[in-house]
Amino acid sequence: MPQPQASEAREAKLFRNNKSQAVRIPADFELPGDRVLIHREGSRLVIEPAPNKDLLDILARLKPLSPDDQFPDVDETLLPAREIDL
**Does some domain include residue 35?**
yes
Q: Model's pTM, two decimal places? A: 0.49
Maximum pairwise Cα distance, the chain: 74
Per-residue model confidence (pLDDT) at position 5? 56
Which residues span the domain enclosing 16? Answer: 9-64
Position 30 in a domain:
yes
Q: Is residue 36 assigned to a domain?
A: yes
pLDDT in tens, the chain (86 residues): 455 555 588 899 999 999 999 999 998 899 988 889 999 999 999 999 988 778 988 888 888 888 888 888 888 888 888 888 88
Domain CATH for 14: 2.10.260.10
pLDDT given for residue 32 in this prediction: 87
- Does residue 14 sit within a domain? yes
- Identify whether 82 is part of a domain: no
Domain count, the chain: 1
| Closest C-alpha among 48, 22, 49, 47 to residue 33 | 49
In a domain, 79, yes or no: no
77 located within any domain: no
